[in-house]
Structure 1
């Protein structure tokens, strides 16, 4: 595994997973029902971390493929907007609990986070490969 991918895994994925890991720990050590096993807000935070990381990394690339950079930044901005909508739904659910189906919201955020993770991996894989070419 290349150095860029290891840094991505540690600095982005593991840090992005901190809210989810913390919730799993709290769920594991408290009495049943004290907290949910997974919360949409934690998954949303993970997705946001992934896409902000993509934007940050792409901004530091050389300008060899401007159209690819523009497309990836645009995709990340779209994903961030979707995560913001989901975050708003989570906040609305706090006030109007019968308004939104918790499990449907959680499933949507999990599915979106999986897509974000795959997208993030493919982008960092490409960056890692281009970085290897620059070194040679």
Structure 2
């Protein structure tokens, strides 16, 4: 496995999933019905981590055109705003349909993961070209 991929996966994906893993661990050791095994807020954190990492990675891309970088940064900012809104909605579960929020968050997380992987892949390709590895 490529070292850069492993670092991206551990430092971005697994770090972003820490709230999910923690909730699952707490769910395993508590009485039934005390805590839900998954919550939208945990996956919202995952999406936030992915897009913050995207913005950081894009800042270090030099050989990529400005249009691509602007688009990716814009998408990350848009997703950060949407995740912020969804998080605010999860704070008052009495007035929102939490199942709809949960489904939206899951779809957004899949899209966020794909966008984050594309940023990683582009960064990895740029570094390979600089080192003369094709």
TM-score normalized by structure 1? Answer: 0.92
* C-alpha distance in 1 between matches for 2:45 and 2:22: 13
Does residue 106 (structure 1) correspond to residue 102 (structure 2)? The answer is: yes
Distance 1:115 1:27 in 2: 27
Secondary structure at 2:116 match in 1: helix
1:22 paired residue number: 22
Deviation (angstroms), 1:63:
5.0
- CA deviations 1:18-51 (Å, max 9, x no partner) are 0000001111111111101111111100000000
Contact 1:50 1:117 in 2 (8 A): yes
Q: Greater helix percent: which structure?
A: 1
Once the 2 structures are TM-superposed, how far is the Cα of residue 7 of structure 1 from its aligned partner?
Answer: 1.3
**Unmatched 5+ residue regions in structure 1?**
none
- Whole-Å separation in 2 of the counterparts to 1:127 and 1:4: 10
Aligned length: 132
Task: For 1:92 and 1:112, locate their aligned partners in 2 and report how far apart those are by CA, in whole Å.
Answer: 20
Answer yes or no: is the 8 Å Cα contact 1:2–1:128 preserved in 2. Answer: no
> What does 1:1-136 correspond to in 2, within 5 Å?
1-93=1-93, 97=94, 99-136=95-132
- 3-state secondary structure, aligned to 2:9: helix
Deviation, structure 1 residue 5:
1.8
